[in-house]
Amino acid sequence: MEILFEFLKTTGFAMMTWGNALMIIVGIFFVSLAIIKDYEPLLLLPIGFGAIVGNIPSIDSMALNVYQEGSVLSFLYLGVSKGIYPPLIFLGIGAMTDFSAMLSNPKLVLLGAAAQIGIFLTLIGALYLGFSPSESGAIGIIGGADGPTAIFLSSKLAPHLLGSIAIAAYSYMALVPVIQPPIMRLLTTKKERLIRMKEPRHVSQREKIIFPVAVFLISALIAPGSIVLIGMLCLGNLLKESCVTERLANTARNAMIDTVTIILGFSVGASAQAQTFLTSQSLLVFALGAISFGIATAGGVVFAKCMNLFLKDKINPLIGAAGVSAVPDSARVVQMVGQKEDPHNFLLMHAMAPNVAGVLGSAIAAGILWSIFVK
């Protein structure tokens, strides 16, 4: 019977800690949120399930978790820790993004810059709370509302916080419909929320083809740290818009991005082990993350109001909230809040402009932070 008793010592029951149990419940909560509330299910479901898997305790000699050399999960996690998955996700996103809305109304691009104030003010907050400068940079990026960018930058600046930062970023991205509306209403008058915007002009295919090459050159020359993310985004978009590589674009935005999404989500979740995740630092990261989303939203809305001081064709300031890069959730929130006031006001397409600009803005901000903090 010795073998049976020896074996029982290796079971999860015997080694379970309260922290593990709590994280398993958190994982189940994420999965439930994804399924019941339909919040970012493509990410919350794999992350949640990963958190369940990552918190089953096991004896060290079996090499099961993401941090143990030679384990299967450690190989899958390499794509996270080396920053390989985020650019591949960006390739797929590029191949499914239509920049028309942005091309037809270039001034809305600036809203995607304004919302990045969330990143930098959160950085100051993190410094204030005692995080090191490069940790602060990584935490700040949560305000960019972009999961792959957050993973990419954390893997470079603060690998030990990667789990918390990634999960905070995805959690708040899932909560965009909860976080943004009150801030948007608080900062706008009813009259502003009723503003209707001019129908966007038609964009030629030639513009759509030239755009990804041009925007890559601009971003990359100004902030070389954004080369990988924006390079892949623009390559994906060029594959789509060029019309001569449709089959590549199709694979990039389907089989390729789906495969990477499953493995990225699962291994990020599995990295959130109680032992490394349940720390006071993680709590601070989550608190700062929530604040950063609020600031980013406010930044976009307020900047839109400022722009209106100089514009003849007024912008509906609600679309400033779409300056965060949570595509397309933020744009949908704008549409929703706008339609509460006027069911015939269709802001969705207009909001897509700052929304995709926000993706560029947050990737550029990540590149800048990387340049500043790299050793």
Partner 1 sequence: MNSGVQNIVNGQGIMITISGMLIVFAALAITSFFIYLLPIFLRIFASILPAEETSHHIPAFYSAPEDEALAAIGFALHSEAGGSMVGKESF
Binding site for Na ion (CB under 5 A): 146, 325, 327
Token pair 């901000």 in the structure block, residue = 365
HSE value, Cβ hemisphere, 13 Å, CA-based, for 237 = 25
* Angle formed by the axes of helices 147-157 and 133-140, nearest 10°: 170
Q: What are phi and psi of 161, to 5 degrees?
A: -100, 0
Six token digits for residue 190: 């009813």
Q: Which does 365 bind (CB under 5 to 8 A by kind): partner 1, Na ion, its own copies, none?
A: partner 1
If the CB atoms of residues 13 and 18 are measured against partner 1, the closer one turns out to be 13
What is the signed CA dihedral for 221, 225, 229, 235, rounded to 10 degrees? 30
Nearer to partner 1, 209 or 290 (CB): 209
Tokens representing 245 are: 């590589």
Work out whether the CA dihedral 220, 222, 224, 225 comes out positive or negative: negative
Which range binds its own copies by CB under 8 A, 63-71, 123-131, 136-144, 172-180?
63-71
Among Na ion, partner 1, its own copies, none, the one that 82 touches (CB under a kind-dependent 5 to 8 A) is: its own copies
Nearer to partner 1, 135 or 192 (CB): 135
**Candidates 14-22, 51-59, 186-194, 352-360; binding stretch for partner 1 (CB under 8 A):** 352-360
Q: Rounded distance, CA 292 to CA 315, Å?
A: 24
Q: Contacts with partner 1 in 264-323 (CB under 8 A)?
A: none
Of 294 and 361, CB closest to partner 1 = 361
Q: Which of 14, 15, 25, 42 binds partner 1 (CB under 8 A)?
A: 42
Q: Is 5 helix (H, G, I), strand (E, B) or coil?
A: helix
By the rule CB under 8 A, 368 interacts with its own copies: yes
| Binding at 77: pick from partner 1, its own copies, Na ion, none (beta carbon under 5-8 Å per type) | none
User: Toward Na ion, which CB reaches closer, 24 or 102?
Assistant: 102
Q: Give which of 42, 26, 25 is closest to 34, Cα–Cα.
A: 42
Stretch 218-257 residues interacting with its own copies (CB under 8 A)? 220-225, 227-228, 231, 234-235, 238-239, 242-245, 247-248, 250-252, 254-256
Beta strand ranges found along 177-261 (DSSP E): none
Nearer to partner 1, 54 or 140 (CB): 140
Task: Give dist(CA 334, CA 231) in Å, integer.
Answer: 29
Question: Rounded to 5 degrees, what angle do the CA atoms 175, 180, 185 make?
Answer: 150
Which span (118-126, 191-199, 216-224, 276-284) binds its own copies, by CB under 8 A? 216-224
- Within 5-44, the residues that bind its own copies by CB under 8 A are 6-7, 10-13, 16, 24, 28, 31, 34-35, 38, 41-42
